[in-house]
């Protein structure tokens, strides 16, 4: 009998501990921010939030299956998709996708829009290709085969990068479009799981180039290219350029904030930026309130943590809209 009671107590204890947690999964792009926010929130409230980075596609799959309390996705769902899956959606933070490369003695490499599209299309096979050389006349580029590193898993980072490619290349838009995963063209590419995996591949593969989130590139001390923006200016990947880009974002609560913000106008704007989103199941009002309490706390108290990692916190005007959206949906 004692064994039965002990087992029951342990089982209940486990249940209560699990019920006190908030569990999320999905996009790896904002993972470093969420971990920083989670740590701060736990210190302030003793509430434990778990977030597993596994890519936007897996996050969307998890929330549709109701396997987690919330999901992170860099690829927003449109209002029809949200209605079909019975989900709410709001943005959490804005960040940048950077072009990292592994070429010795090639600092501040400038990559034009044409060169980046041709690299992704598999047409630039060597580092001394004229498209790269003409924007880097003072860089000694070797005749070494170029390896393009991409995501192997379903990825919101890939969605935002290919959305950007669709903006800058008619051929890319016609042949591939914006997708979370695809069969990359050419024979010079390799794939890694999550942004951390792509960063590791770039780091360990001489003469490679790939797209990853800024935080992973910075944490791995990778070179980051200076990228041509919509107005023909070459922009370093740094916070003030990300902020200039984020200022152009149009995120409307009437459309559940559905918007892709890559390739904004503005002479000082970094071109490859992305808002990342949170998905909530409509029927779980009480759990949703626990999730929004975490994000509300982070919006109010942890903006500095985001900027330290190279992300752009949402402006007050937008977080006010998000709180109103939560209130109208009964999840705040």
- Boundary-marking domain end, from 198, 215, 247: 247
Q: Kindly tell me if the per-residue pLDDT of 68 is higher than 50.
A: yes
Same domain, 192 and 50: no
Same domain, 239 and 254: no
Please, are residues 148 and 209 in contact by the beta-carbon 8 Å criterion? yes
The total number of structural domains in the chain stands at 2
Structural domain including 145 reads 97-247
CA distances to 120, 140, 183 from 190, rounded to whole Å, are 12, 25, 11
What global pTM score does this model have?
Answer: 0.86
How far, in Å, CA of 319 to CA of 253, rounded?
11
For residue 198, count other CB atoms closer than 10 A to its CB: 30
Flag whether 4 is in a domain.
Answer: no
Q: What are residue 230's phi and psi, to 5 degrees?
A: -60, -30
**What local confidence, expressed as pLDDT, does residue 183 receive?**
95
**What local confidence, expressed as pLDDT, does residue 163 receive?**
95
**What local confidence, expressed as pLDDT, does residue 105 receive?**
87
Query: No. of H helices and E strands in the chain?
Result: 14, 12
Same domain, 69 and 165: no
Q: Kindly tell me if the per-residue pLDDT of 112 is higher than 90.
A: yes
Q: Kindly tell me if the per-residue pLDDT of 46 is higher than 50.
A: yes
Flag whether 2 is in a domain.
Answer: no
How far, in Å, CA of 107 to CA of 309, rounded?
21
- What percent of the chain stands above pLDDT 70? 94
How far, in Å, CA of 283 to CA of 269, rounded?
39
Q: Kindly tell me if the per-residue pLDDT of 7 is higher than 70.
A: no
Same domain, 120 and 234: yes
**What local confidence, expressed as pLDDT, does residue 223 receive?**
97
Same domain, 191 and 232: yes
Same domain, 90 and 115: no
Same domain, 52 and 146: no
**What local confidence, expressed as pLDDT, does residue 176 receive?**
97
Same domain, 76 and 102: no
C-alpha dihedral (59, 65, 66, 69), degrees to nearest 10: 0
Q: What is the CATH number of the domain that holds 26?
A: 3.40.190.10
Average pLDDT, stretch 131-150? 96
Same domain, 104 and 233: yes
Q: Kindly tell me if the per-residue pLDDT of 103 is higher than 80.
A: yes
Same domain, 325 and 227: no
Same domain, 101 and 229: yes
Task: Annotate 172-196 with b (16+ C-beta within 10 A) or e (fewer).
Answer: bbeebebbbbeebbeebbbbbbbbb
Strand 234-235 relative to strand 189-192: parallel, antiparallel, unpaired? unpaired
Digit-coded pLDDT (tens) for 222-242: 999 999 999 999 999 999 999
């Amino acid at each position: 009998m004692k064994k039965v009671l002990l087992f029951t107590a342990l089982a209940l204890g486990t249940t209560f501990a699990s019920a006190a947690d908030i569990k999320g999964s999905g996009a790896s792009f904002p993972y470093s921010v969420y971990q920083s926010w989670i740590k701060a929130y736990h210190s302030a409230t003793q509430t434990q939030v778990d977030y597993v980075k596994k890519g936007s596609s897996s996050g969307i799959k998890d929330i549709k299956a109701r396997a987690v309390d919330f999901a992170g996705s860099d690829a927003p769902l449109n209002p029809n998709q949200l209605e079909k899956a019975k989900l709410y959606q709001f943005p959490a933070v804005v960040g940048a996708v950077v072009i990292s490369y592994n070429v010795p003695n090639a600092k501040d490499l400038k990559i034009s829009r044409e060169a980046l599209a041709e690299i992704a299309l598999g047409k630039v096979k060597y580092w001394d290709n004229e498209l790269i050389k003409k924007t880097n006349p003072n860089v000694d580029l070797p005749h070494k085969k170029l390896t393009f590193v991409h995501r192997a898993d379903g990825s919101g980072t890939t969605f935002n990068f290919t959305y950007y490619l669709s903006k800058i290349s008619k051929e890319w838009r016609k042949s591939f479009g914006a997708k979370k995963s695809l069969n990359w063209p050419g024979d010079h590419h390799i794939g890694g799981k999550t942004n951390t995996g792509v960063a590791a591949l770039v780091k360990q593969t001489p003469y490679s180039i790939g797209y990853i989130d800024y935080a992973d590139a910075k944490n791995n001390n990778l070179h980051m290219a200076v990228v041509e923006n919509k107005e023909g200016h070459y922009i370093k990947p740094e916070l003030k350029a990300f902020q200039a880009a984020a200022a152009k974002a149009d995120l409307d609560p009437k459309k559940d904030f559905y918007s892709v913000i890559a390739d904004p106008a503005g002479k000082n704007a970094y071109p490859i930026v992305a808002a990342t989103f949170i998905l909530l199941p409509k029927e779980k009002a009480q759990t949703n309130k626990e999730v929004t309490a975490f994000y509300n706390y982070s919006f109010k108290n942890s903006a500095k943590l985001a900027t330290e990692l190279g992300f752009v916190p949402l402006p007050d005007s937008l977080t006010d809209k998000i709180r109103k959206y939560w209130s109208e949906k009964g999840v705040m």
